[in-house]
Structure 1
Amino acid sequence: MAHDKLAVRLAQILMRFNDGGSFSLEELASEFNVDIRTIQRDLNQRLSFMPIKKENGRYFLESFALGKLSFKDIQNFAMLSGIRELYPKLDERFVTDLLSSKINGIFMVKNDGFEKIDYESFEKISVAILKNFIITFTYKEKQREVKPYKLINYQGIWYLIADENNKLKHFSVSKIKDLSTTSKSFILKKEFINQILNDKNIWLDDSKEAIIRLSKSAKEYFFRKNILHNFEFIDEDEQSYTLKVYFSYDDELLNVVKQWIPYIRILKPINLKSKLEMILKDYLQN
C-alpha cells in the first residue's frame, strides 16, 4: 500500500531504471500494487521525458542515459510535477528516506485525481511550444489558430496557454480537437511570458467579480486548502465573512459554491445568484 502513491512510485521507477534494471509491466504492477494500465500510463505519459526502451516485453533505460539521474534531477522532477511542496522539505536526506521501503511505509498521499488526456496531442503541443510553431485546432466548435506558450496543470487539469489574435487565452487540452502543427513560426512576446509567470491566476481573460458570504464554520478547512485563489476580505460578523472574489467565467465560481453549499452564498451579482438558483431547482426537480 505504501508504494501505491504516485510521487513515490514514479521516483522509485526512475531510480530502478537509473540503476540499469529492466522490468515487465506485470513485474512493476505487482511490486507497486497497481494495475497494468497504471504502469503503462506511468511509462508512456508521466515518464515520457525519459528515454525508456522496450524489447521482448521488458522496459529499460537507453544505455546513454544510465547513471545520469542525480539528486538534482529528482528535485527538478518534483518541482515540475508540482509535488515539491507536498513534503516539509526535499533535501537529499529526506529523499533517501522517502525512497527507502523501510521508511516510506509511514507515508500515504491522496489527491483528487488527474484528468486523462490524449498523449499524442500533448506531445504535439509540447513540440510546437519548443519550436515556436503556430498550431491549429477545433475548440468549442470553432476553428482556432494560435501561438502556443505553455502547458499548465491546474487542479489536475492540463491547459494550453496561447496567443490568439494578440491576446493570451487558455484552452483545456482534453477539449482540443483536430490538432495540427503548421510550418509557420512566431516570436515569443516578452510581455506575454512575464504575464504567464507572474499572474496569480492562469485565467488570463478579463476578470469578473462577485460578492460572497462564507460561514465561519468552514473557515479552517476552506482557507487552509486555498479553495478560492483570488479574493479579498470586505467585512465579517460573528457568523460569517464577506469576500470579494475574482474569476474569469461563471462556472469557475459556481462549481466552488455548489461544492460548499450551505457554507457559501452568492450575494452579488444578482444574475449569477439567479443562475445558481436555476441550476439547483433543475437538479431537485429532475
Structure 2
Amino acid sequence: MTQADRRHDRLAVRLSLIISRLVAGETLNMARLAAEFGVSVRTLRRDFRERLMYLDLEYRRGQCRLRSTGGGVQGELDALTFAHRAGLADIFPGLDRRLAGMLLTAGGMPCLVWQPPQSVSPAISLVFFRLVSAITACQRVLLLAEGERCDGLAPYRLISLDGCWYLTGELNGHITVHPLATIHAVTVLNTTFTPRKRLNQLTIQAGFIRALPHFSCIREVLSQAADNGGLG
C-alpha cells in the first residue's frame, strides 16, 4: 500500500468517526479531537470546511455540533450518507436528496427491500455493534466463534446475504469469513491495522459475496488440496 493509500484510508476512518459522533448528538472539542486522531487542529478544520461542508454544523468556543433540525434537509443528508456507507444506494434507482426526502416523509411503505427474516438475539446485537465499531476504527478484535478463537483478527466488512450477516476479515494474511450467527463474543483490542487493498477489494466483488455461505467448505477443500500437494 502506497503512502497516499494509507493517508486516504486514515482520512476515510477519521471522517466516518466524526460523522457518526455528530449524528449521535455529540459536541466535539476540536483540540481534543485533533489529539485523538494525531493531526493538527488546522487539518481538522480543513476536514470540516472542505469535506463536511454539507452538514449543518454549529461552532462555538472551539467546539462543534450538529444543529438539531428535526429532519428536513439534514435528515435527507443523513439518509444518503447512511445509504452510501452501507452499500445500499444502488438498490434505489436514482437515489438523491429529493428521493431520500420523499421516502423519509412518505406515509405507508412505498418501497420494500425484502429478505427472509432472521431472528436476532440481544447478544448478537452487541456483537454486531462491536464489529461495526472495530471496522470503522480499523481495530483488531478477539473473536470467539463456534470451535474457533481468532486473536488479532482484522475485521473488514459485514455483508448481508439472503437474510444472514457475514463478517469478512483477515487473520495471519488470509481472508476469513464468519457467519454472524456463529460468533459468540467479540472484544475490541487496542491494536489497529491497515486493510490490505487486495483483500479489501475482494470483499466487494459479486462472486465472492455469492460464495459467502460456502466459504468454510471452499476453505476446507483448498486446505486438503494443499496438504495433498495441490489439485493436479
Normalised by the length of structure 1, the TM-score is 0.43
For residues 138 and 109 of structure 2, the distance between their equivalents in structure 1, rounded to whole angstroms, comes to 45
Give the aligned length: 154
CA contact (8 A) 1:51 1:65 kept: no
Give the letter aligned to residue 153 of structure 1.
Answer: S
Give the letter aligned to residue 133 of structure 2.
Answer: V
Aligned residue among 111, 119, 144 for 2:125: 119
Provide structure 2 residue ranges, at least 5 long, that are not aligned to the other structure: 1-19, 27-64, 218-232
SS at 2:79's partner residue? helix
For residues 64 and 93 of structure 1, the distance between their equivalents in structure 2, rounded to whole angstroms, comes to 21
SS at 1:111's partner residue? coil
Q: Does 1:181 align with 2:183?
A: no
C-alpha deviation, 1:140, in angstroms: 1.8
- The match for 2:165 is 158
- The match for 2:68 is 66
Q: Does 1:134 align with 2:140?
A: yes
CA distance 1:98–1:201, shift in 2 (3 Å) = same
CA distance 1:71–1:175, shift in 2 (3 Å) = same
CA contact (8 A) 2:76 2:104 kept: no
CA distances 1:64-99 after superposition (whole Å, capped 9, x unpaired): 441372534322333445654554433444444434
For residues 249 and 172 of structure 1, the distance between their equivalents in structure 2, rounded to whole angstroms, comes to 10
C-alpha deviation, 1:170, in angstroms: 1.0
CA distance 1:167–1:49, shift in 2 (3 Å) = farther
C-alpha deviation, 1:161, in angstroms: 0.7
- Which structure has more relative contact order (CA 8 Å, sep 6+)? It is 2
Aligned ranges 1:65-84 → 2 under 5 Å = 65-67=67-69, 69=74, 71-80=76-85, 83-84=88-89
CA distance 1:182–1:51, shift in 2 (3 Å) = closer
For residues 151 and 49 of structure 1, the distance between their equivalents in structure 2, rounded to whole angstroms, comes to 23
Q: Does 1:198 align with 2:205?
A: yes
For residues 153 and 51 of structure 1, the distance between their equivalents in structure 2, rounded to whole angstroms, comes to 24
For residues 172 and 128 of structure 1, the distance between their equivalents in structure 2, rounded to whole angstroms, comes to 17
- The match for 2:94 is 89
CA contact (8 A) 2:202 2:208 kept: no
C-alpha deviation, 1:130, in angstroms: 2.7
CA distances 1:27-75 after superposition (whole Å, capped 9, x unpaired): xxxxxxxxxxxxxxxxxxxx9994269xxxxxxxxx8441372534322
C-alpha deviation, 1:167, in angstroms: 0.8
Aligned ranges 1:6-17 → 2 under 5 Å = none
SS at 1:125's partner residue? helix
Give the letter aligned to residue 75 of structure 1.
Answer: L
Provide structure 1 residue ranges, at least 5 long, that are not aligned to the other structure: 1-46, 54-62, 208-246, 251-286
| Structure number having the greater helix percentage | 2
Larger radius of gyration: 1
SS at 1:197's partner residue? coil
C-alpha deviation, 1:150, in angstroms: 1.4
Q: Percent identity?
A: 18
Normalised by the length of structure 2, the TM-score is 0.51
Aligned ranges 1:133-282 → 2 under 5 Å = 133-145=139-151, 146-198=153-205, 200-202=207-209, 248=215
